[in-house]
Each structure stands twice: as C-alpha cells, then as structure tokens.
Amino acid sequence: MAQMKRIGVLTSGGDAPGMNAAVRAVARTAISMGIECIGIRRGWNGLINGDFVRLDTSSVSHIINKGGTILYTARSEEFRTEAGRKKAMDTCKLLGLDGIVAIGGDGTFQGALALSRLGIPVVGIPGTIDNDIGCSHYTIGYDTACNTAIEAIDKLRDTMQSHERCSVVEVMGRHAGHLALYVGIASGATAVLVPEREMDFEQDVVEKIRNARLSGRTHFMIVVAEGAGSAVEIGKKIHESTGIDPRVTVLGHIQRGGTPTARDRVTASRMGYSAVKVLAEKQCNRVIVIQNGVLTDLDMEEALAMKKHLNEPEYALLSAMTGGGSD
C-alpha cells in the first residue's frame, strides 16, 4: 500500500456540537503523519463543486470549544444522484485526494458508502445529536444536546412550578427517542413519549398526570420526541382530556448549537485521531464507533446494516420514575 499523501475531511447533514473538535483532530493527526489535509466545505456539495480549504495546524486552532462546524454543512440532493457522485469523484481525482473522512449521521454514511464504491476509501465518524446510528453506542453531539435540553427544561420547570402548570416540551431526535428518553430521565419528567413505543394516550399521559396530581404535584412536565408526534397536538389533547391548559415549547434547533461538553470534545478528538490512523493504515471503508465504551472501527457496509433499539434499562428506569408522578 502506498503512503497516503492527501486526504479530505467534511461535515455533512445536521451539525452537532463537537464536529469542530473532530475536524481539528483529523487535520492535526494527518499533518503529524506527513499527510496533507483538505477541508471540504458544505458537505458532499463541496466535493461536487470543488469547494475546499487547505487546513494546517493553525487553521484549526481555537475551534475545539466551538459549536457548529467551521467547514459548514449541507444535505446534498445532488450527491444522491449518480451524476453528482461522479462529479465528486472527479474532484477527488483533481485534488489528488487519497481518502476522505466524513463526519455526520446516517445520510452522510450512505453517501460515504456510495462514493467509496467508486474507488476512494472513506472513513465515517458518527456525529449527530440524535444518537441514532445503529453501529455506535455514542454519536458526537448527543451529550451537549442532552445538556442543552435539560437546562432549558429546568428553566421551564421554574415557571411551571410557580404557576402550577403543565409543560409539554418537544425535543429533537428525528425518528428516534434516545434524546427524549435521556432528557426525560434527567429532567424528572412526568411522562416521556418516544416513537419506539406506540402511544396509549390515556395510559401514557393522562394517567401519569393524574397519578402525579394524586401524589400532590401541581405542575407537570411532558417530554415529547419529535418523532412521537407534535407537542402542540399533545397539548391540545391534554386540555381536552383533563381541562388543564398546558404551555407548549418546541426546543428545536437550539439543541444543535452551543459549546460542546468535555465528553463531546474528547470523544470527537479520539474519533478524529482514530479515523486518520485507520484510513492511512487500512485504506478501506470503515466507520469509527464506540461499543460498550470501547472505540473501534467496523466495515462500513456491515456497520450501516446495524440497527439501534431504545435503551431498555433506561426505559425501565423511566417507567419506574414516572409510575407515581414527576419530581
């Protein structure tokens, strides 16, 4: 295997706090190994359009503490087409890229696999606040997003408590409930609705509010994963069923920003470092993952076929905690 001379790094899909730390680690690890690093901007679109920036050690200074991504990001429709991927491959040839590190979620990895089939090795790093990548127990940005949501819910609780109200809060997660479940446990929610569990409104919401009221609570916190339904609709149904007049808050994109936590900075740094090592040593398609706390790499095709289920011990804990009402 010839020594790699130049690699590209990109961030794609929804941004996640810690992506910058991963870009920094990729660039600095590559440079330390004598490999040039090119930052591809605006995700896969950047590879299609030849939108790039050369990265040296100082161009990634002062970013480990920053949310967002200095490389910008996008969801590329064109890259889903054969013609788009062909253009991207041409850019790789023109720039002399020997490999790519792609940081993002499921869509990013699907793109990575498709590109790799055209002959360029790609290593994926899981980065999404949703933590919904089947092959990895952890994705960059999840911890920060959980903490952002919890901080917001704590603030909501203050005012809900004073006014003796019910709050319905919608958190992100796309089709998955990992974020909502974790946030619900940590914020002492009255009830948490996740897409992985079919909702029985009477049992899962009304009964929990009723139990909380019977045990003396006068404020209620209902956490809804966006994939489980609209918080506005849940709020209306609560009003119809109980007479309570809930206040609805959709946390939205606030969960995607902010200073990455120590966990996200360190995990991203470790994954970035490992991605370059794996790319240089194996020169094939891999995904960097964390499984049972251990950082390792998997074949990309096999990794993409893996499914993630809701964390059962966490769900059992939530059920026990919400059986008799909120905090």
- Residues contributing to the site for ligand F6P (CB under 6 A): 14, 105, 128-130, 172-174, 226, 256
Residue with smaller CB distance to ligand F6P, 140 or 212: 140
CB of 267 to ligand F6P, least distance (A): 17
Strands 286-291 and 6-11: unpaired
| Type of residue numbered 18 | G
Query: Is 130 among the catalytic positions?
Result: yes
Alpha helix positions (H), the chain: 19-32, 44-49, 82-95, 106-116, 142-163, 178-186, 201, 207-214, 231-242, 262-282, 300-304, 312-322
CB 11 within 8 A of CB 43: yes
**Distance in Å, CB of 194 to ligand F6P, minimum:** 13
Q: How far is the CB of 5 from ligand F6P (least distance, A)?
A: 34
Query: What span, in angstroms and rounded, lies between the C-alpha atoms of 141 and 17?
Result: 5
Q: What is the CA radius of gyration of the chain?
A: 22
Q: Kindly tell me the sign of the dihedral angle through the C-alpha atoms of 276, 279, 285, 289.
A: negative
Nearer to ligand F6P, 99 or 126 (CB): 126
Distance CA 23, CA 248 (A): 37
Of 13 and 325, CB closest to ligand F6P: 13
Strand order across the beta sheet in which 99-104 lies: 52-55, 36-40, 6-11, 99-104, 122-126, 286-291, 294-299
- Residues belonging to the active site: 130
